[in-house]
Amino acid sequence: MPKTTLNHFLVQQPAPPETLVKLLGKTGITINGDAPWDIQVYDETVYRDVLTRGTLGFGQAYIEGRWDCARLDEFFTRVMRADIDEEMGGWGKLQLLGDILRHALFNLQAPNRAFQVAQLHYDIGNDVFESMLDSSMSYSCAYWEHAHTLEEAQAHKLDMICRKLDLQPGERVLEIGCGWGGLARHMAQNYGVDVVGITVSREQQTIARERCAGLAVDIQLMDYRELQGQFDKIVSVGMFEHVGPKNYPVYFETVHRLLKDNGLFLLHSIGNHKTALYTDAWIDRYIFPNGKLPSASEISLAIEKKFLIEDWHNFGPDYDRTLMAWWDKFSRAWPELQFKYDESFYRMWKYYLMCCAGYFRSRQGQLWQLVLSKRQSNRIYRSVRPVPG
């Protein structure tokens, strides 16, 4: 754990606003209470920031050490299960209105902005991700049904994707958003396919090329809109969250153009339980700039007249377990990482992983794998799930 920096804050407990007390009371959370999911407020400016800036002010106050909670994951679960987070976001009305207008008026995922998320998040330092992820460097939801460890769960996920795609030796496969090359390597090594992977992160490209050296894998730094060619199968894991609704038409048109008529496309994406007009301001500022989680209706509308849905698999609860496994590994690695990253980074990263765990545990968040085909396809598709052993 990082050293505390709270000794300069008020010693006397500040009186919380009655509005906050009543709102959190609906969830069983008490301000300065004794339960592990209760928040401990050390500086009364936290209340001002929550009431005027919503979730952005609340998250920034946590990074600065102005409040704490023993079980952040349970705090967020309770808040999101009761949809209190939406009311908190609404308090910062000017901030909220700005976020809604920003998403409505501007293409936040335009080609000239496509690389921003890599600069802020994916390129922060490979050592952070290496300490947190499994050996395949899979930065997406694992599949835990028959797994006991993160390593097993990610391996099961990778192989489930390959079997859902019905990969055959010699096929040409495109991976849109290839990360650090874990899936590309798995497909090439175990299924004998040729893989073209693309990423917007230079750090990911460097590591992916090293990890896939000697295999039929080509890792390119590019935006998906630049792609050309024809592929037997296409897969995209954990990248669609960065596409944005304004670009869904061109995204699916691009995939449709690149996919052979008898091919298959697997889309692996976080999904929101309902259509939202904006992204949480704290996540947008600190973690995934310009991101936007799709709803089921948004995806369905975007693929209409382009693809048929062969399979729609939801295993959202597995993301909660994945995130907690990542946190366990990161926290155990912190004694070494703290020499390079400061306490604010530690608190930011913890807040990120814990609020995401609460998002899935509350069932606001879903994890979808869709298998899509063209109407021109003559294949008969059978849904695939892992089996024990």
Contact between 354 and 327 (Cβ < 8 Å): yes
Of 117, 137, 143, the closest CA to residue 182 belongs to: 137
- Beta-strand (E) ranges in 210-363? 217-221, 231-237, 259-272, 308-314
* Distance from C-alpha of 309 to C-alpha of 161, rounded to nearest angstrom: 16
* Distance from C-alpha of 62 to C-alpha of 51, rounded to nearest angstrom: 15
* Distance from C-alpha of 217 to C-alpha of 191, rounded to nearest angstrom: 12
10 Å CB burial of residue 279 (0-12, 13-18, 19+) is buried
**Hey, how many other C-beta atoms are within 10 angstroms of the C-beta on 295?**
16
End-to-end C-alpha distance for the chain, whole angstroms: 38
Of 322, 320, 331, 325, the closest CA to residue 74 belongs to: 320
* Distance from C-alpha of 228 to C-alpha of 248, rounded to nearest angstrom: 18
Contact between 234 and 174 (Cβ < 8 Å): yes
Is the CA virtual torsion 201, 202, 207, 209 positive or negative?
Answer: positive
* Distance from C-alpha of 41 to C-alpha of 25, rounded to nearest angstrom: 16
Of 357, 363, 343, the closest CA to residue 71 belongs to: 357
Contact between 263 and 374 (Cβ < 8 Å): yes
Tokens of 226: 């630049």
Strand pairing category for 217-221 and 194-199: parallel
Q: Which of 69, 141, 355, 356 is catalytic?
A: 356
Tokens of 115: 């690389």
Tokens of 134: 């499994």
Active-site residue flag, 162: no
Strand partners, 370: 267, 312
Tokens of 384: 């695939």
Write out the catalytic residue numbers: 356
